[in-house]
Chains A and B, each alone.
Chain A
Amino acid sequence: MMDLPGPRWKKGKDAKDFAAVAAAKPMSRIVAKLQASLKDSEAMAILSGDGGDAILAIGRKQAKLLNRAAFGRHIENAGEEERQWFQLRPEEVFFLCHALKCISVQSENKKQMDEAQLWDLFTSTSEPFPEMYKAYQHLRLKNWVVKSGLQYGADFVAYRHHPALVHSEFAVIIVPEGKEFGSRCGRLQVWSDLLCALRASGSVAKTLLVLTISTKGCDLASSDCLGQLIVHERAITRWIPQQCREQHDKPQREEANGDVQIQKPCSEDASKEEREETREGVAFSYWGVILSFTILSSLLVYKLKF
């Protein structure tokens, strides 16, 4: 099992990092409050016609919680004062609907959609939706914040808390496994793709996290398959023999806050430490000699004088 790199918290105006803010407001509690609040207000999302994003209009209180829980993207709207508009991606819609059961969903022509219809719509619009959603749900249920990773050439990026408080640690790529997934053009099937993904994630200081989604056999046409899908987590890291260390998500500088850069010390480094210790030992004995000599000569002078 690999030691994961630690989080890189962002810093506030007082130059203190946001770790304390995140610790004081755990994501699970924020999401629980959001869930209760959306349920209470009977929030309803409206699908866009093409099966892509949905739009959600909610009150100020819900909006604050939705923002804190890092779902969706706020839509600036000059006219509205009481209502805040948000845009939700399919995984977020389905998560709020299926996992948290706190919103209902309407098609663009005002038809109420149940879960099965939603699943149908999302899977027919996007073939990889089953594995994408399973991965999304897997991470969200562990209280990681999951956002699009497209600009980094990945499927998702995962944050330890709200993106305003912390840098994302992982670029996530999802790899479906098994004939149930059909003839998908999966990622990481050839070396150029794997090394590309590794380089892309490294250049933005993220660890490449591969989530393989396997199944013992289920029908992806129904959201019931979610219970049969298994998520396997692996990190791909480059190892640099010149430096005898794993390359993690850090650029080559020492982090002042002592963030973890996993160094497996080369024996060369270890023997360097040994040499330094020996030098110290020699220094002590050098001063020991000087001290003894001083004491002895003082004693001698003392004796001679008296």
Chain B
Amino acid sequence: MAGASNAGNRRRRSRAPAGGATGAGNDDAEEHHLNPFLDAAPSTSSRIQFRDVASRARWVEEAGAAEVVEGKGKLWLTTGVTRGGKLCYNVEEIGFLVERGAMILLSDKDETIGIEGIYEKIAGGKYGCSWDAFQAYKHLKSLGYIVGRYGVPWTLKNSGVVHTDQSFNKVDGTCSDRTKSLKEMHIDRLSPSFEVYVPNSKFKKSSPGAPNFLLCVLRNKPFLRVELERLENNFGGIPLKYCHVDHGRVSFLSFDEVALPSLP
């Protein structure tokens, strides 16, 4: 899906008017509105849930995450984290996968949790992801980016050897360590929300490498120099990007320090 949209964008780019009349490459040049006044019933989203190709995962309340019981397809290669051999998805990942019909979420009683239940979990903010951050997550995932929660390792061994400085509650050794991780996602300017990798078919959770950038989801005051500087000093040269979510529309920005040269 990401490939198709990129191909479309490349075609659009080659047809761009030479005079740059569209303005400097607006990322949202045209608002596309589905016309609700047409008589013919518009074709609904083609995301029909094919139950036989959907993965199944069970919600684990103590972990605030879902444990995969039956994996299908290839999305898992770049989604979810591995804990002691088990694949776990957090709420934004669950939301993304279920919306696409790629996963069915089950309760501990093996009943299907519908999308409204998933939206409740996200919007409630108790599981470490806000509605805004979910929009940003989806936007990037749909374009093929690899997105993980900042500071959450992609894989962890079950043995209790932990490569972070957090102490995890090893109740069942699998997804429980995510409870600590949940508190770490900040949906404000003080810390990045996500670590992002550009689309990469060779991405490996076992050795992901450094992310291409960290994403901070901003809400309030757009631009505060002092906080930007404080943030930047903490992340070892990994670029920071910022996004603002307005009613589902995500704008991505960089606030890079520059040094205008002294001219001759």
B-contacting residues of A (Cβ < 8 Å)?
1-2, 4, 23, 26-28, 139, 142-144, 158, 160-161, 170, 175, 177, 188-191, 193-195, 198-199, 202-203, 205, 209-210, 212, 214, 232-244, 246-253, 264, 266-268, 271
Contact = CB atoms under 8 A, between A and B. Distances in A.
B263 A242 contact: no
Contact of B199 (A144, A232, A253, A267): A267
A268 B199 contact: yes
B260 A4 contact: yes
Given A198-B253, A241-B252, A268-B199, A28 B225 contact: no
Contacts of A242: 5-6, 9, 27, 143
Summarize A's interface: helix, strand, loop or mixed. mixed
Nearest to B12: A252
A238 B254 CA distance: 6
B233 interface: no
Interface size class of B (residues with CB under 8 A): 35 or more
A299 to B, nearest CB: 45
B86 interface: no
B6 A2 contact: no
Given A28-B263, A234-B258, A235-B256, A240 B198 contact: no
Contacts of A4: 258, 260-261
Contacts of A248: 24
B22 interface: yes
B198 A143 contact: no
B20 interface: yes
Contact of B263 (A26, A205, A246, A250): A26
B27 A247 contact: yes
Given A238-B253, A242-B5, A266-B199, A190 B27 contact: no
Given A143-B263, A252-B22, A177 B225 contact: yes
B139 interface: yes
Given A266-B198, A266-B199, A236 B253 contact: yes
Determine which residue in B9, B145, B258 has the highest number of CB atoms from chain A within 10 A of its CB, and name it.
B258
Interface of B: 3, 5-6, 9, 13, 16-20, 22-27, 139-140, 143-145, 198-202, 212, 221-223, 225-226, 228, 241, 244, 246, 251-264
A194 B222 contact: yes
Contacts of A239: 241, 252-254
A189 B190 CA distance: 18
Given A142-B263, A240-B252, A271-B201, A251 B139 contact: no
A-B complex: 5 closest residue pairs judged by Cβ atoms: A251-B20, A2-B256, A26-B264, A143-B263, A239-B252
18 contacts: A2-B256, A27-B264, A143-B264, A160-B263, A190-B221, A194-B223, A237-B253, A238-B251, A239-B241, A243-B27, A244-B199, A249-B24, A251-B22, A252-B16, A266-B198, A267-B199, A267-B200, A268-B199
